[in-house]
Every structure is written in C-alpha cells, then in structure tokens.
Amino acid sequence: MAGDSARLLIVAATSLEVAPIVQRLRPLGDCGLRTTRYAFKNLDVDLLIAGVGLVATASRCAAALARAPYDLALNLGVCGSFDRALAPVTVVHVISDRIADLGAEDGDAFLSVLELNLLDADEPPFSGGRLVNSAPPANPALSRLPAVDGISVNTSHGNERSIAAVAARLNPQVESMEGAAFMFACLTHGVPFAQVRAVSNFVERRNRAAWRLDDAIGALGGAALDILDAL
C-alpha cells in the first residue's frame, strides 16, 4: 500500500484497547454506527468500536464491511495466553481461530459442532474446522510478531478444570472474546485482514492482581502504529 491512498478498518471491542493509537490519528468526524473516521499519513482509517463479545463483533463488523470497500481490516485487542512462552505484554498475530464453546455438552464431554455434524470442517469460511488467515498482508512489522493459534469464547476461562479441558481438546495459544467473529466476517467479505493482540494475562483462575492490562495496551499501540507506518 506504500505510496497509495488506502482505506483501513480498525475493529476493537473497547475504546480503551486503542486509546494509544487514537492519539496518533487525525480525527475527521463521526460516521455513526459506532465508527469514527481518522487520517494517518496516506491512510483513511475508520475505527469501529464493536463492543465486547462474538455476537456484537460479528454483527457490527459485517455491517461495516458491507457498507464500504476496505483495503485492509485490523482487529486490535488484548488476550489471555495459554502458552507460557507468550508472557504478558507479548504482542501476537493470531493466524487461526476457533469458537471454542460452540457445540453441546454430553455429560462431562464436549461435542463440537463438527462432531455433531452441524458444520462441515471445510464449509466456507472454515478450513479444517478453523478460521485461517492464509494470506495475511505483506507487512514487515506484522511479520515480526509471533504467529499463533487462538480460540474465541463467550465466557473467558477461569476454572482449572475447564482450562485443562479446552487446552487438551484444542491446544490453543491465546484466547479472546472477539477474534473468530472478526475473522469470520473478513473471510466472508473477502477483505484482507490481520488479528493483532497483546497478552494481558495468562489463562488461569481469575487473578486481576497478576494482569498487566495497561502495559499490554501500550505494547499493542506501539505494534499497531508500526504496522500502520509500514503500510
């Protein structure tokens, strides 16, 4: 995109997660529908604060992608880490995602929608049961980030038993409450995209004292601006 005017959609669950980025953007006006327009160098940037959770993200992101053509969409936010090598404040590029709790309980077992034969593993936009970013934008700042596999949930994990169960079943590295919905919308609309997140905490029994939310948001802002600079 270097040298050309490009249109970018940034999607975040909350304004807090993108506060450091907004400080570097030039505001152009409120577009309504939870979207504000900004300028950054040669970029026209629409910032969508979609709200927390899979339903809000899927609905509002799909609506935004249907309203206007975008050259690229970025999902920016925080996440929890299952992988002890991905410590808090690490910024990652989530290249595959799954909705971890979409299925049915069968006693103590969990049956996914694939196991229930309610979804084919390769039914678009899925690939092998995952939402996969097979062609992320060629961006040097993005390529420097660890590429990870994620899960998205309606209820964040905070119980040792459920954490162990989902880790054994899906072997995720990170967890969010929005990522899969964003990827589903982008894949459906054929828009190039990247899901970029900063680890705020390990996935464990809820312990806010151990979270590094402010530091993670700061790191996310720095990484996101590096990506924008390289577009």
pLDDT tens by residue, 188-215:
999 999 999 999 999 999 888 889 999 9
For the chain, give the mean pLDDT: 95
Q: Would you say 113 and 121 are in contact if contact means Cβ atoms under 8 Å apart?
A: no
Range of the domain at 150: 6-229
pLDDT value, residue 108 = 87
In-domain check, residue 1: no
pTM tops 0.75 = yes
pLDDT tens by residue, 22-79:
999 999 999 989 999 999 999 999 999 999 999 999 999 999 999 999 999 999 999 9
In-domain check, residue 177: yes
Domain count, the chain: 1
Give the CATH number of the domain where residue 190 resides: 3.40.50.1580
Q: Cα dihedral angle (194, 50, 8, 174), rounded to 10 degrees?
A: -10
In-domain check, residue 144: yes
Closest CA to 74 of 137, 27, 10, 15: 10
